[in-house]
Amino acid sequence: MTAPRSTRSSRNRRAEHTADTRRALVRAARTLFAERGYTATGTEDIVAAAQVTRGALYHHFKDKADLFRAVMGECAQDMAERLVEQETARAESESGDAWTLLRHGFQSFLDACNDPDFQRIVLVEGPAVLGHSAWDALVEEHGYVLLAEELARAIDEGSISPMPIGPLTRMLAALISEASLYIARAEDHETARKEAGEVLERLLTGLSRTGA
Amino acid sequence: MTAPRSTRSSRNRRAEHTADTRRALVRAARTLFAERGYTATGTEDIVAAAQVTRGALYHHFKDKADLFRAVMGECAQDMAERLVEQETARAESESGDAWTLLRHGFQSFLDACNDPDFQRIVLVEGPAVLGHSAWDALVEEHGYVLLAEELARAIDEGSISPMPIGPLTRMLAALISEASLYIARAEDHETARKEAGEVLERLLTGLSRTGA
DNA sequence: CCTGTTCCATACAGACTGTATGTTAGAAGA
DNA sequence: TCTTCTAACATACAGTCTGTATGGAACAGG
């Protein structure tokens, strides 16, 4: 079951090394894709930043789009983790009713989306680079599940009226995404954040069962 | 003031011919961009479909992205015209209150967005190809104005509560865009249309001043 | 010690974009 | 009418980028 110490250590070192180069590639690609976009970033730029050669890139990834998929997956993963973290923290501290909890959740979701990497890579480049089916699969895997189950719970608890979860999830995510992009590109982020939050609040009241 | 007949006719023929080649390029590019996307479509493919050479393309347009801008402008223009048409028709036939008129307007907006060219070129490829500022300028010019002034009117008339127009317009447009994409990619378009419409209705009720 | 595999570097071929140059048809003036 | 000039293309070329094929070095296993 256990290999000799030296062998295992060596194995680990080797495996760790290859994992390192892979991480370096993803990290470099993430920075460059977020800065200049997908097509404006050459594979040569990426491997230069990662301090490897193109051979390493095409050893670890099928092609450039495959590398992008890994990068976008990482972005989505980071976002999902951040959201879970925030949500648990909120669930502990606040103890309002389910409805206000949900509303506050959306507001902090909006704040979390205010991240340049996420916006550029996941929201802007993603759909065009991967095509809608692959993009959707990635988002389904990482991001939507959270939102969807939270909405399902809200419906079960009766805080919002029964509605088809699928389109509701997609449309709310798009709503918040667009709001975050609006805030990011506004000259005055402060007021933009306030206004977008207000509009979001108003729209969400339409979902409430009580109507308030 | 008026040039000689022969000269003018000749001029017109010539001008018309050059306009023809330009239109042919835009038309061919529009079809191919909508089918295969921007990067997957080579300039050679475009000029072959338009039955000209690459020289003509680079005579009329600065580069490939410039051609795309023209294509997307045409798509947005078509959409805007369709919306105006529908709206005037609805204003004549129906004569409900401003609130129901607005709601119906959004539903038909949703139906109008169900167009493959529009979805792929304007909603998916546009932001990635042109970058967000140029994309926003185009949409601002063609599409948002309509929606924005209709919303402003609704606020003036008191059918929806006062709200910042800027983010409201963007977010509602994004909402409808996402809904149209959701419908387009669903297996069962019928039920998807119904469900998305229902969610849209619920969200819109949040805007209503009366809350109904 | 020998062999096979993993991991990566280098070299190469194909495609694509943009530009520079050539060419033709029509407009304009004398 | 003749010349000239310019718009509207066509063609040829150069640079860049992606993906692949080849080669080698390190390491694990027998």
Angstrom distance (rounded) from CA A127 to CA B114: 17
Return the structure tokens found at B211.
């809350």
* Virtual torsion, Cα B32, B38, B39, B40, nearest 10 deg: -30
**pLDDT tens track for B133-171:** 899 999 999 988 889 988 999 999 899 999 999 999 999
Residue A3 banded pLDDT, cuts 50, 70, 90: very low
Residue B17 banded pLDDT, cuts 50, 70, 90: confident
Report the helix count and the strand count for chain A, using DSSP H and E: 10, 0
CA distance B101 to chain A (A): 18
Exposed / middle / buried, residue B73 (Cβ in 10 Å: 0-12, 13-18, 19+)? middle
Cβ atoms of B157 and A153 closer than 8 Å: no
Residue B11 banded pLDDT, cuts 50, 70, 90: low
pLDDT score of B1: 34
CA distance A107 to chain B (A): 15
B128 contacts A129? CB cut-off 8 A = yes
pLDDT score of B87: 83
Using the predicted structure, report yes or no on whether residue A14 has a pLDDT greater than 80. Answer: no
Looking at per-residue confidence, does A186 or B16 come out higher?
Answer: A186
Cβ atoms of B194 and B166 closer than 8 Å: no
pLDDT score of A13: 67
List B208's β-bridge partners, or say none. B160
Distance in angstroms: CA B172, C1' D14: 48
Q: Which residues of chain A between 60 and 79 are close to nucleic strand C, CB under 7 A?
A: 60
Chain B residues within an 8 Å CB radius of A181: 132
A171 contacts B178? CB cut-off 8 A = yes
For chain B, give the longest Cα–Cα distance.
67
Average pLDDT over residues A31-51: 97
Distance in angstroms: CA B34, C1' C22: 35
Closest residue to D12 measured CA to C1′: B55
Chain A residues within an 8 Å CB radius of B200: 171
Q: Beta carbon of A32 within 7 Å of strand C?
A: no
Which chain B residues have any C-beta within 8 angstroms of a chain A C-beta?
A: 37-39, 124-125, 127-129, 131-133, 136, 161, 163-164, 166-168, 170-171, 173-175, 177-179, 181-182, 185, 192, 195-196, 198-200, 202-207, 211
Average pLDDT over residues A68-75: 97
Please tell me which of the candidates B127, B164, B170 has its beta carbon nearest to residue A124.
B127
Exposed / middle / buried, residue A104 (Cβ in 10 Å: 0-12, 13-18, 19+)? middle
Length of chain A: 212
Closest to A56 (Cα-Cα) out of A40, A68, A44, A65 = A44
Single-letter residue type at A61: F
Looking at per-residue confidence, does A211 or A162 come out higher?
Answer: A162
Cα separations in angstroms, A63 against A55, A59, B212:
11, 9, 53
Chain B residues within an 8 Å CB radius of A136: 185
Average pLDDT over residues A120-149: 92
List B160's β-bridge partners, or say none. B208
Looking at per-residue confidence, does B16 or B127 come out higher?
Answer: B127
Tell me which of A11-20, A61-70, B175-184 is least confident.
Answer: A11-20
Return the structure tokens found at B39.
């990067």
pLDDT score of A102: 87
Chain B residues within an 8 Å CB radius of A127: 124, 128
Phi, psi of A12 (to 5 degrees): -60, -45
Residues 6+ away with beta carbon under 8 Å from A104: A90, A94, A96
pLDDT score of A9: 54
Chain B residues within an 8 Å CB radius of A174: 174-175, 177-178
pLDDT score of A7: 42
Helix (H, G, I), strand (E, B) or coil at A4: coil
Q: Beta carbon of A19 within 7 Å of strand C?
A: no
Phi, psi of B39 (to 5 degrees): -70, -30
CA distance A7 to chain B (A): 48
pLDDT score of A98: 79
pLDDT score of B54: 97
Percent of chain A scoring above 70 in pLDDT: 92
B211 contacts A207? CB cut-off 8 A = no
B202 contacts A204? CB cut-off 8 A = no
Residue B94: how many other CB atoms lie within 10 Å: 10
**pLDDT tens track for A80-127:** 999 888 888 887 887 778 788 889 999 999 999 999 999 999 999 999
pTM value is 0.90
Looking at per-residue confidence, does B64 or B96 come out higher?
Answer: B64
Taking each helix axis from N to C terminus, what angle separates B5-36 and B43-50, rounded to the nearest 10 degrees?
130
Distance in angstroms: CA B130, C1' D8: 27
**pLDDT tens track for B85-94:** 888 888 788 7
B136 contacts A185? CB cut-off 8 A = yes
Residues 6+ away with beta carbon under 8 Å from B78: B118
Q: Which nucleotide lies closest to B6 by the C1' atom and the CA atom?
A: C27
Dihedral over Cα of A199, A203, A205, A211: its sign:
positive
Q: Beta carbon of A18 within 7 Å of strand C?
A: yes
Residue B96 banded pLDDT, cuts 50, 70, 90: confident
